[in-house]
Structure 1
């Protein structure tokens, strides 16, 4: 039963033994040309307002020397939120529910920050391992704890995003699978519940994209 349930996340469609499910990651590019018409639409105005708001949010979190990085995190947010929403559509592969994608986003970012920080700001990186005011006796333990918490950062970013996408899809699939065996009254309640869950999943899609981008921004701000 569990293998059949989790099979909804398996990239099964293929041509000449090449998986085509991952092409859904690039479906967001189809929406981009509509933003460049001479007369802006409501969609393009809404998206421009969202980008400006995110720019202000990330600008407040970053150091003055890293302000140019806001566009990087806006692009990261855009990629994740597009994939999260596309995964809610029927028969569209949810690439953001796979660690192959989420870890591919978080791990290179973390490795790049670590290399940049330790090469250019070595003393500052060492200072981060021991919080200010730590007793001398606890310093070795704090260094160990801070090192472990730093190492697991890309994993927590990737697992948080993938787990939230998987949980919502599994719940929708479980409830939807019980529909044929229910009476008309209970079925109407189930449909109403599914609509509420879809609204909740839409909110989760935005929130998880924002959390991923904000945490990445906070990790960048620590590299002074």
Structure 2
């Protein structure tokens, strides 16, 4: 039966670097996650399948498009994925990889109005990706996300909050992290804001006073520092005295 696509549904594409995250066990949860956001237009997974024939069989049975990439040169999989993703016409792009080449992709995708979600391994993910993507998750978060589907309804990706609301969320997130004696590194605070406040779905959900968008979470933090709302030392955030007393 051919699935009917509602005009209200967002188109979703997945691009999975299997050489970076080689685990067929997450495939079903990825599909459930992507399906909850809209209609899956692409579900591509990249590797040298001559060396991964069993994994290819499992993924193909779930209708993944297994793109074979020969090892003609270093980072051939990365190059092929970037080329394919660059021409994507979906509304939401999910990248399953933690490699630094995703930085190049994210900027271009967001400039074309797409929402970018990244899933990465906790130990190997580039810290910069947490600040660049609209939403960043670790692969280990998938089971909980699928169980709690209301946490990632597609409509929430397009909700907006104003700058003052975002500052309020930021201050509360820093306070929460400090109370729990957690690190206040930018990526952690960005994720904590998403966990604590459903309206906040990454920096693209913040409307600047002039109607523009912050390019990344770091730019939002820079604005908050200039306005005297928070302090920053290296990659860690701290509260100014007035905000700490008000929290």
What TM-score results when the alignment is normalised by the length of structure 1?
0.25
Q: Which has the higher contact order (CA 8 A, sep 6+)?
A: 1
Greater percentage in strand: 2
